[in-house]
Structure 1
Amino acid sequence: MPITDHALAIAAAEAGAAVVRARYGSSLTRFMKIGNDFATTVDIDAEKAILDVLRGARPHDVVMGEESGRTGTDGNGRTWLVDPLCGTVNYAARTTLVSVNVALHTGTGSAVAASADPFSGEVFWTDGSAAYLRCAGTDERLVPSAESKLVDVNLDPPFPSRDVFLAARMLADDDFIDQFHPRVVSTSLAVAWVAAGRRAAYVTDRRDLSRSVHFAAGIALCQAAGCVVTGLDGEPLHTGGNGLIVAADERTHAALLTLVRRQRTATT
């Protein structure tokens, strides 16, 4: 029986996670990219494991890998977005806050996705209609919640919107301090945690994220789970606007939009 797309996303993410987990703590060769960004041998090997799974089941689909770039023939409207190790800096520092992300993008957005935590053994996944957590072979529906008041923010450069918005400034706002508790895990695993109710929200000023290998899986999970997902100005992501706000509910989203707009007003 042919494997479904969502089962394939899970299998691919788990294949990458197995490599990441097995190589943890080993000696890593680094390959510098732009600025201080780098990949390691584990990023490359995990991506190869993921691509082997995808290619074996869907040889005619396009694959966009963070390390290998675009491969495959275009034409069927299906592109797999692969981030083999989100949190490379954490991993290289022997910190286990990382994720392995796989998402299928079609003409209408990311149809299915999986985000695997190599060290907890958890896989957050969606078939496009609902979102789930798989652990020890059992699937549980993801239910967002703002109860924790924890807001994860991206504080890693570059800061493309710094003239009008900077996450570090938001953290110093008295209204933010009164309403929320900041967290920084420096991996898109935190986006999946919003869908799972472990974070109230996630904020980044990175641009045009709807087809990002880093964020596509987390965004798909949150949308399927019923989170509020927009750009920094509250605009739909497909419009190609700036940044990302993912919130567990409308109230949290509205509060964060107010904080963002306050910075924009102050700098204009």
Structure 2
Amino acid sequence: MINSRAGLDDAEVAIAAARAGADVVRAMYGQRLTRIDKGAGDFATAADVEAEKTILGIIHAARPNDSVLGEEGGRQGAQDAARQWLVDPLCGTLNYAVGNMLVAVNVALRHGAAAVADPFSGEVFFTDGETAWVRQDEADTRLTPTPATRLVDVNLDPPFPSAPGFRAVDLLAHHGFVERFRPRVVSTTLALAWVASGKRAAYITDGGDLSDSVHFAAGIALCRAAGCIVTGIDGAPTGQAGRGLVVTADAETHQLLMSMIRSRNQNRKCGPGV
């Protein structure tokens, strides 16, 4: 069955791999799973490991000359491979481990196609690098970002490398933010797919260069292809110059959030007397 995927284009490979991983995640949900300590409070479960093995099997069969960087298994394949896949087999492991279904399976070809699968809704959000779609029940619908929900996902998970200059949690105390938006904390990059599909107005997280992260690459590719505004928390393009992410459904929302971030940063620099 896997060998039959060799003729698929990159987007279909990403979809097949993400779906296969999602099947594993869904099948193992609710079981008493072994936890693998990764330090600093982070851990993986047997579901993370099994899903990644399944995803890698799909990719290796379809693209044997490509390398893969997996969250759990690290880099595999030729060191000089021209192409690399980035795999996060279960984004939202803590959610999953405590019985929360808010998780995502992320598969991305670096600078190319990508797919984000929701194991429990059955949705697969995907892009060929140019356009973005969601597939459910074998029907594909073009993704259309919109700020209409006014829901903004704020990632509060540590570490906070930009603190004290910036912490996403500071936005929750900004009067303009709570007047205009409704904060949410999903704690999985599924929220990026939701921005691309109009279920969220924006997503904000701290961090370094996330553009080639196994956690974020698929969601970033999806949002860019859908027409979202994607920058770092300093407004710079993602990459070495940009830190963290501010992803919005439209330019107006992005401008507003950036002004709030800058005002909070300025207030912190000036001290409590401002």
Amino acid at match of 1:78: R
* 1:87-129 CA distance string (max 9 Å, x none): 0000000110000000000xxxx21100000000000000011
1:28–1:41 contact (8 Å) kept in structure 2:
yes
SS of the residue aligned with 2:148? coil
Counterpart CA distance in 1 for 2:124 and 2:118 is 6
Shift of 1:75: 2.8
User: 1:64 corresponds to which residue?
Assistant: 69
TM-score of the pair, normalised by structure 2: 0.95
1:117–1:189 contact (8 Å) kept in structure 2:
yes
**Aligned counterparts, 1:114-263, within 5 A:** 114-263=115-264
- Count the aligned residue pairs: 264
Counterpart CA distance in 2 for 1:74 and 1:27 is 37
Counterpart CA distance in 1 for 2:82 and 2:203 is 29
Counterpart CA distance in 1 for 2:185 and 2:26 is 22
1:207–1:240 contact (8 Å) kept in structure 2:
no
Shift of 1:241: 2.1
Q: Which of 6, 18, 25 pairs up with 2:23?
A: 18
SS of the residue aligned with 1:52? helix
1:126–1:220 contact (8 Å) kept in structure 2:
yes
Gaps of 5+ in 1: none
* 1:33-74 CA distance string (max 9 Å, x none): 121100000000000000000001111111000000011113
Shift of 1:263: 2.1
SS of the residue aligned with 1:185? coil
Counterpart CA distance in 2 for 1:163 and 1:133 is 38
Matched, 1:111 2:116: no
% identical aligned pairs: 57
2:108–2:218 contact (8 Å) kept in structure 1:
yes
Shift of 1:77: 2.4
Q: Which of 9, 20, 24 pairs up with 1:4?
A: 9
Amino acid at match of 2:56: L
Amino acid at match of 2:21: G
* Structure 1 stretch displaced more, 53-62 or 137-146: 53-62
TM-score of the pair, normalised by structure 1: 0.97
**Aligned counterparts, 1:29-40, within 5 A:** 29-40=34-45
Counterpart CA distance in 2 for 1:33 and 1:250 is 38
Shift of 1:136: 0.2
Amino acid at match of 2:222: L
1:61–1:74 contact (8 Å) kept in structure 2:
no
Shift of 1:238: 2.4
SS of the residue aligned with 2:112? strand
Matched, 1:54 2:59: yes
Amino acid at match of 1:169: D
Gaps of 5+ in 2: 1-5, 270-274
Matched, 1:77 2:82: yes
1:98–1:187 contact (8 Å) kept in structure 2:
yes
